[in-house]
């Protein structure tokens, strides 16, 4: 469904005052436009390169609600195509992952290779298939695929800018994680679902260090240790200056808090902090960071502290599936690797202490957006609005020298409205605002 041009989605987000209308979290029609204008256009995370390491390896993933097969052909090149036979639309592969030279539709046996091209149709020689001979009936291909530091992304929009341009300065943020070591994905992913709107999960990822000391206080008091061996956050009341915030083009951003002076770094999981090569890659500013909660717009949460990728994929306005991938340094001793995986599962995932706190929060936020009377009253995202100071120096792309503010969340909603109002990628690209515009 194309956007109704009589509606300006920008009216739902008041960036200068820090207000967001609740309707955008529950309205079924808005969600249908999101499927087209957000999930049909943006670069979306697909899988980690090490999860399809060998020729003919494949994984089944989702881009929005579209089931997509990502696989390597016999030469090792990566392809992605919609998991839906062109004959009657059935899935041609129903398992999560594996290795195969062909995908065969269970209904009539149409057969596709690992490039998604149609290889054979039972009876093709004897029966008459008029259309089959005149057009490409291979699986529908994802328009563009590219990767950044092991993360494979795809977009359905042939007009989308390159992944490099799309990520832009956010790459400096992602490298907070990737410069720590040489990462591979722990085999398999953990999947679970929540009855929440996807944007509440994204707004927690992009800039909500604020909730940590309150929502996760019980976990921290219990001595929770993050995946990279340091405590996850301060249990002291929020201190504005103990970190920084970054907002980058196309809706990405993060909060990063600094290590506290009292942080214990003599654990095996924190050993990387003493590695001079890692410190040199990170540079002085990033070496001081305890953890960064990052969002690659629209729906990939990257956590530099616990070393996790959490994809929050929408299945309706009030439903997400979360897919969690744990990244570990290839050079870690096996016992340290096991420690990191255990720490991760205590933290995020269905049994994770933080995850359960957050899931309940987003569930309640979504519920709080349903009321037709409530919807007349905007949500307040005004913390720090008009009070941010951008620092421009050689240490990083422009950053806001404050940890606790809602600038990144507002930026995400502002860009959301831009995508919703734009006719196309070229229009969005031409009219895209400056991330710094509000301060």
Catalytic residues: 108, 208, 211, 216, 358
CA distance 25 to 365: 9
Nearer to Fe ion, 34 or 208 (CB): 208
CA distance 305 to 290: 7
Least separation in angstroms between CB 215 and Fe ion: 6
CA distance 119 to 75: 17
Decide if residue 418 touches Fe ion (CB under 5 A). Answer: no
Decide if residue 421 touches Fe ion (CB under 5 A). Answer: no
Reduce the DSSP state of residue 355 to 3 states and report it: helix
Nearer to Fe ion, 84 or 242 (CB): 242
Nearer to Fe ion, 144 or 255 (CB): 255
298 upstream amide cis, omega within 30 of 0: yes
Spell out the residues 6+ positions from residue 397 whose beta carbon is closer than 8 angstroms to its own. 169, 172, 246, 248
Residues 219-238 that bind Fe ion (CB under 5 A): none
Reduce the DSSP state of residue 390 to 3 states and report it: strand
CA distance 193 to 179: 31
Nearer to Fe ion, 83 or 293 (CB): 293
Helix (H) or strand (E) holding 202: helix 198-207
Least separation in angstroms between CB 249 and Fe ion: 26
Nearer to Fe ion, 203 or 358 (CB): 358
Asked whether the beta carbons of 330 and 182 are under 8 A apart, the reply is: yes
Closest CA to 20 of 29, 28, 11: 11
Residue nearest to Fe ion (CB): 358
Least separation in angstroms between CB 80 and Fe ion: 31
Least separation in angstroms between CB 257 and Fe ion: 13
Residues 329-358 that bind Fe ion (CB under 5 A): 358
Reduce the DSSP state of residue 312 to 3 states and report it: strand
Residues 356-385 that bind Fe ion (CB under 5 A): 358
Asked whether the beta carbons of 213 and 237 are under 8 A apart, the reply is: yes
The site that binds Fe ion (CB under 5 A) totals a number of residues, namely: 1
Closest CA to 203 of 388, 57, 383: 383
Least separation in angstroms between CB 355 and Fe ion: 8
Nearer to Fe ion, 358 or 406 (CB): 358
Least separation in angstroms between CB 109 and Fe ion: 48
**Which residues contribute to the site for Fe ion (CB under 5 A)?**
358
């Amino acid at each position: 469904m194309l956007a109704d041009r009589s509606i300006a989605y920008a009216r739902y987000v008041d960036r200068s005052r820090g207000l967001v209308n609740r309707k955008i979290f529950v309205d079924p029609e808005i969600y249908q436009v999101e499927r087209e204008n957000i999930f049909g256009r943006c670069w979306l995370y697909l899988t980690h390169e090490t999860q399809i390491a060998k020729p003919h390896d494949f994984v089944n993933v989702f881009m929005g609600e579209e089931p997509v097969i990502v696989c390597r052909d016999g030469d090792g090149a990566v392809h992605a195509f919609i998991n839906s036979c062109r004959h009657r639309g059935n899935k041609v592969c129903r398992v999560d992952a594996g290795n195969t030279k062909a995908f065969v539709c269970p209904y009539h046996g149409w057969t596709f290779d690992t490039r998604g091209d149609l290889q054979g149709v039972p009876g093709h020689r004897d029966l008459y298939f008029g259309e089959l001979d005149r057009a490409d009936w291979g699986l529908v291909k994802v328009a563009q695929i590219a990767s950044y530091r092991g993360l494979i992304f795809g977009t359905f929009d042939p007009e989308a800018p390159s992944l490099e341009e799309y990520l832009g300065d956010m790459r400096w943020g992602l490298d907070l994680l990737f410069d720590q070591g040489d990462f591979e994905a722990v085999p398999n992913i953990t999947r679970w679902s929540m009855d929440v709107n996807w944007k509440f999960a994204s707004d927690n990822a992009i800039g909500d260090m604020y909730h940590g000391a309150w929502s996760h206080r019980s976990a921290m008091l219990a001595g929770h240790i993050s995946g990279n061996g340091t405590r996850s956050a301060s249990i002291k009341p929020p201190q504005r200056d103990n970190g920084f915030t970054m907002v980058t083009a196309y809706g990405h951003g993060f909060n990063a808090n600094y290590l506290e002076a009292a942080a214990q770094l003599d654990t095996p999981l924190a050993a990387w902090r003493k590695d001079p090569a890692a410190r040199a890659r990170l540079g002085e500013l990033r070496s001081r960071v305890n953890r960064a909660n990052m969002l690659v717009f629209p729906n990939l949460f990257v956590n530099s502290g616990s070393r996790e990728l959490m994809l929050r994929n929408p299945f309706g306005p009030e439903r997400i599936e979360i897919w969690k991938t744990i990244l570990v340094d290839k050079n870690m001793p096996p016992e340290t690797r096991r420690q990191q995986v255990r720490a991760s599962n205590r933290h995020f995932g269905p049994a994770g202490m933080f995850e359960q706190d957050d899931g309940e929060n987003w569930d309640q936020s979504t519920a709080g957006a349903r009321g037709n009377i409530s919807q007349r009253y905007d949500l307040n995202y005004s913390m720090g609005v008009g009070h941010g100071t951008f620092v421009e120096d050689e240490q990083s792309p422009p950053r806001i020298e404050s940890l606790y503010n809602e600038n990144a969340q507002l930026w995400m909603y502002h860009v959301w409205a831009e995508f919703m109002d734009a006719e196309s990628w070229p229009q969005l690209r031409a009219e895209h605002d400056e991330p710094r515009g509000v301060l």
